[in-house]
Structure formats: C-alpha cells, structure tokens
C-alpha cells in the first residue's frame, strides 16, 4: 500500500508540474497580447464578473475576447492547482498513517 501511495504522490507532483508549464505557455501568450495593447485591470476584476464588465470590458471592448480568455485561463489554472494540492495533501496524510 505504501508503494502505491508513494507512486501516486509522485504522479500528482508530475501532473502539477505539467499543469504549471501548460498554463504558463497559454496564459503568457494572452498576457503578452494584453500588455502590448495596454489593457489594465486588477485582481478584484477576476473575482467580480459585474465589476469586470462595468470597468474593464466597457473600457476595452475591442479586446473583450482576449480579456475573457485570460481570466478563464487563470481561474481554471487556480482551480486545477487547488484540486492537485488537495490530492497531494490527502495522499501525504495517508502515507503518514500507513507508515
């Protein structure tokens, strides 16, 4: 059982690494576009869709697709990373119990 859990935790760490690289490539492509076009918004806009629409999308309507894509990628990467961290912690807890 210990070996299975040990390999599972290694697999989840590797998945976290590949997730990080994948989203870095995807997010930085969109981020580069937004920076080149001087589109600015803060973290509070990520969390509040209404605020995003009123303050950012209304100011940069021509870049709406890229803004929404960037926010979606960030939210998805945070969600997936959170799930993987919970898996790592759970498997680590089980490893400690079976030792």
pLDDT attached to residue 23: 86
Enumerate the domain spans of the chain.
2-98
Band (pLDDT 50/70/90 cuts) for residue 99 is: confident
Per-residue pLDDT tens digits for 10-64: 998 898 898 889 888 888 999 999 999 988 888 888 888 898 888 888 899 999 9
pLDDT attached to residue 45: 85
Q: Which residues of 70-93 are buried (b: 16+ CB within 10 A; e: fewer)?
A: bbebbeebeebeeebeebbeebee
CA distances from 35 to 24, 70, 89 (A): 16, 12, 36
pLDDT at residue 97 greater than cutoff 90: no
CA distance 90 to 32: 36
């Amino acid at each position: 059982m210990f070996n299975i859990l040990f390999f599972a935790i290694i697999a989840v760490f590797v998945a976290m690494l590949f997730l990080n690289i994948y989203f870095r490539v995807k997010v930085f492509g969109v981020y580069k576009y937004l920076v080149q076009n001087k589109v600015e918004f803060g973290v509070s806009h990520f969390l509040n869709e209404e605020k995003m629409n009123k303050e950012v999308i209304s100011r940069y309507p021509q870049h709406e697709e890229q803004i929404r894509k960037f926010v979606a990628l960030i939210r998805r990467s945070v969600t997936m990373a959170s799930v993987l961290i919970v898996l790592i912690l759970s498997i680590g807890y089980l490893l400690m119990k079976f030792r």
